[in-house]
Amino acid sequence: AQTIHQWPVAEIKAVGSPLSLGCTIKGKSSPNLYWYWQATGGTLQQLFYSITVGQVESVVQLNLSASRPKDDQFILSTEKLLLSHSGFYLCAWSRGGTGSAETLYFGSGTRLTVL
């Protein structure tokens, strides 16, 4: 069975400080990986996706970056946090391959508070 693990569960950070969030998928080789951001009580906005190691596509520019250093790992980061970065960050995976419809399986998320 596939499992998705996000870390940390929650973070409280100061404006201007760096950030690194992680996501690991076990039990599935070559998945498509995604980062989503959700404001409190709001919709989910796709930030990045990756279909293979070392390749990341940006969907929305929010002064964040993403990397995929390993087949099963997806990292979201920034060198300088803004107040607007607060929210719920969700990692998701789907079966590999481009295009067409695939179910997204979401992790349990990281709650980020920027003060």
Partner 1 sequence: QQQVRQSPQSLTVWEGETAILNCSYEDSTFNYFPWYQQFPGEGPALLISIRSVSDKKEDGRFTIFFNKREKKLSLHITDSQPGDSATYFCAARSNYNVLYFGSGTKLTVEP
Q: Footprint of partner 1 on residues 44-73 (CB under 8 A)?
A: 44-46, 49, 51, 57, 59
- Contact characters 71-100, partner 1, x per CB under 8 A: -------------------x-x-----xxx
Tokens, residue 102: 């695939």
Among the candidate windows 12-20, 62-70, 72-80, 107-115, which touches partner 1 by CB under 8 A?
A: 107-115
Nearest-angstrom CA–CA distance, 91 and 107: 6
Burial class (CB in 10 A: 0-12, 13-18, 19+), 72: buried
Q: How far is the CB of 115 from partner 1 (least distance, A)?
A: 20
The one-letter amino acid code at 95 reads R
Strands 73-78 vs 19-26: parallel, antiparallel or unpaired: antiparallel
Please give the C-alpha separations between residue 96 and each of 6, 48, 100, in angstroms, as whole numbers. Answer: 20, 15, 11
Q: How far is the CB of 35 from partner 1 (least distance, A)?
A: 12
Candidates 1, 14, 83, 103; binder of partner 1 (CB under 8 A) is: 103
The residues of the shown chain that bind partner 1, judged by CB under 8 A, are 32, 34, 42-46, 49, 51, 57, 59, 90, 92, 98-101, 103-109
